[in-house]
Structure 1
Amino acid sequence: MADMKQIHDFAVKWCDKFRDQNINYIELVDHYMADDCAALGFEMDCGHAFSEKYSNAANNHEALDRIIDDVTDITLLGSAIYSQWHYFNHWAYTGAEILEPQNRAWFILALSRLAMLSGDNPFIFQGTLKKMRVISNNICYGPMPEPNEEVEQHLTINNEGRVWFSGYNFGCGGERYEKARSKNFKIDKDATDKLFDAIAAYFGNEYMEVFATDIGDWVMEL
């Protein structure tokens, strides 16, 4: 099997891809992930070994969430990830199903755990916070938004108090939303320091991550 750094890099790389709300499903179900799994020595066994130990956690994100902290076998977890990918590549009605929230949630849980087992937790902030960026959206299961309905917001703040804000409408339903409004301004340095200290302190330690399905989400970059 590959060394821990290679496994860690694989887990972080693919976890980021599954978190990307704008990714094309082809990038997830094409051979690239399988190539990486095979190169790391993971075996595709249709999830049998993982199922024997953890039952339906092999393909159900809620069941996986309940037992994920008990998973310590890197080889077993890698095999489960490879096998779950194989299902969407070979057996699913359409590969696009891999983008459904419950399926994204399964891969994010599994890959996040693999990253933590193979190296330092990549989701713990370290260092001095210089800039933060938040992307939030309210896309959820239900009717398609109207073209002029705001569905996503981008907010960036640096440690000098500079703020950049943009709001995006759904538009005509293409791959990219349409920018509808933007505003740049500055906040007080003391307020900025207080905000950044609080964020760095919270994300600098273990924290609870909640991944819910059928609702909007937000992503923060520090």
Structure 2
Amino acid sequence: MTSFKKICNFSNKWLKKFSTEDSNIQDLMDYSMAEECMELGFSLELGHEFLRKYGKEAGKLAKLKEIIDEVNEIDLLGSAIFLNWRYFNHWAYDQSEILKEDNINWFILTLKHLYHLAARNEYLFKGEIKSFILRSDAMSFGLFPEEGQVIGQDIYLDFEGRISIKSYKYTNQVGRDKNFEKSDFKIRPEEAYRIFYEIKKYFGDKYDPFELMIMDVGSWDAVIENTEGKKYRFNGPLFENQHEDLAYLSVLIRTLLGRMDLFVFDGQAKTDRIKKLTLDYHRITEIPIDRFIFDKNFDRAIWDYKESIIINREENTIEHNKIIGEGCKVYQKFEVEGLIDSILDNFEEEDLFEKVKGNPEDAIGIPDEIRKYKLTIDYDKKPQRIIEGDFDKRGLPEDFPDFPEILKESLNFYNFEEILNPKFYEKFRRLKDQYIYCSLSFGSGEKTYYYRTEDDEIEEGDSVIVPVGPDNHEAVAFVDKVEYFYKEDVPFPLEKTKFIIEKYDEE
């Protein structure tokens, strides 16, 4: 079996020799190079195989730079190094040619890449996961934690779904090893398997031990033991934007363990949750009225309009209520499993709606109208927060626009779109012997053209791809109308009417 650790040592040793400013012939022509290459299984024959695969010019620096990222065969690359070294050692007219800048840089580039490949194979996980331990340390430079603040966590998970979590709190009085809270529980084995599958996918293929460590954040250390008892160790910065796969893993572990307070790999622990969010809106508008129609003692009417949205995590509901005057009240309620979590977890409860500028004293109000709002946020742990003000750009929190955007996007799917939609209630069913004719328009032109189709799912408003012109080149058209005709009633001869190719997918 190839010893990747020995290859790392080999690469490191010769990289230092080629990288030093005072490289000399004696050091670079040391015959130990040949002995070490043969011991690692590198051969001149495989070196020639490297050149056959990547081209003879790969023995020169310019070509090597083009193809080096494609090279992932350790035995071929190591053998290419052996072959090139052997050329200067044995066949070159002048051995000192190896000291030329391009030749030195060729060896530096290949040795660096060889080290990289070997180190990845040395560190990457192999086998099936038996257990997983993750220690996340949130202590970072320049930040002094508060008394009782969680500064680190240890997570243990095995293939049977057993979980043990330790949360360490900062204190001036006792050490880390004593001041912790421990929680032991189980998840289903299939949930543990799902976590292990994603862990293996990342640490068995994508983990890069050479990624730059970010020094001003916390860190994580992981130990993965396979079913053969071998332990693999990994580490990295506790940083949100380090790697999208680690971000996904962090969310997955928090979700399946039911612990949103875990640092995991990205440090994005949620120490609290929004339990309920209520937005109340109140508009009072004074409307001038015609004195000749109404009692002369009343020259103005008051329109008192109220609207509210209540998002309740515990009840898993969203309520939308409107009071349009005294005799008109509209109530709408959504209850969709998982919907509330997906909405509220979009927001960072720590700083949601924190910044409100407010209107200055010289701001001019809306004539005959007052618009106010009240935001009430209830948390699992923190006290209730209430934010009130004018319902306008300055009066609302700076991050308020994100709230209606996310809410509308989440609820649009559930609004009634069919029961009152003429597209459904005015649609005829095609009869057995009828043909489908579609009136299509192109661009901004008003003229329409008949095309046929046998696809009953094409509807008015769809975009389709059709053949156009004598050469039948493809173009996108808009379906203005869909009609059904018997053979004797068709608006354009069957044999002369072109067919729609397919619906147009804008993505």
2:17 is equivalent to residue 17 of structure 1: yes
Aligned to 2:44: 44
- Structure 1 residues 127 and 40: CA distance shift in structure 2, 3 A: farther
CA shift in 2, pair 1:46/1:58, >3 Å? farther
Cross-structure match for 1:105: 105
The 1-side partners of 2:15 and 2:55 are apart by 23
- Give the structure 1 partner of residue 82 of structure 2: 82
Q: Which runs of 5+ in 1 are unaligned?
A: 130-204, 206-222
1:192-211 to 2 correspondences below 5 Å? none
Instruction: Summarize the Cα distance change of 1:10–1:126 in structure 2 as closer, same or farther, 3 Å threshold.
Output: farther
Structural mapping, 1:54-203, within 5 Å: 54-119=54-119, 126=213
Amino acid at match of 1:47: G
Supply the RMSD in Å over aligned alpha carbons.
2.4
| Closer/same/farther in 2, CA of residues 8 and 107 from structure 1, 3 Å limit | same
Task: Tell me if the contact between 2:25 and 2:96 (Cα under 8 Å) persists in the aligned partners.
Answer: yes
Distance 1:122 1:112 in 2: 14
Change (3 A) 1:5 1:87: same
Tell me the TM-score normalized by structure 1.
0.53
Per-residue CA shift, 1:117-147, capped at 9, x if unaligned?
A: 0115787665869xxxxxxxxxxxxxxxxxx
The one-letter code sitting in structure 2 at the alignment partner of 1:98 is I
Between 1 and 2, higher relative CO (CA 8 Å, sep ≥ 6) is seen in 1
Deviation for aligned residue 1:24? 1.5
* Structure 2 CA distance for aligned equivalents of residues 127 and 89 of structure 1: 43
The aligned counterpart of 2:219 is none
Which one is further off, 23-32 or 81-90?
23-32
Instruction: Give the deviation of 1:38 after TM superposition.
Output: 1.0
**Stretches of 4+ moved more than 3 A in 1?**
120-129
5+ residue gaps in structure 2? 121-207, 217-241, 243-507
Separation of aligned partners in 2, 1:14 and 1:86: 14
Corresponding residue number in structure 1 for 2:262: none
Q: CA deviation at 1:21?
A: 1.4
Asked whether the equivalents of residues 58 and 84 of structure 1 are also in contact (C-alpha less than 8 Å), the reply is no
Q: What letter is aligned with 1:82? A: F
Deviations 1:31-89 (CA, angstroms, capped at 9, x unpaired):
02111111111111283201111103441111001000000000011111100010001
Change (3 A) 1:124 1:99: farther
Contact 1:46 1:87 in 2 (8 A): no
Q: Residue 160 of structure 1 corresponds to which residue in structure 2?
A: none
Instruction: Give the equivalent residue in structure 1 for 2:33.
Output: 33
Query: Which structure is higher in strand share?
Result: 2
Partner AA of 2:7 in structure 1:
I
**How far, CA to CA, are the matches of 2:113 and 2:71 in structure 1?**
8
Describe the shift of the 1:28–1:59 C-alpha distance in structure 2 as closer, same or farther (beyond 3 A).
same
State the number of aligned residues. Answer: 130
Greater percentage in helix = 1
Q: Could you tell me how far 1:14 is from its partner in structure 2?
A: 0.8
**Aligned residue number for residue 421 of structure 2:** none
Alpha-carbon distance change, 77 to 123 in structure 1, aligned in 2, over 3 angstroms: same
For 1:44 and 1:122, locate their aligned partners in 2 and report how far apart those are by CA, in whole Å: 30
Over 3 Å counting, the alpha-carbon distance change for 1:46 and 1:29 in structure 2 is farther
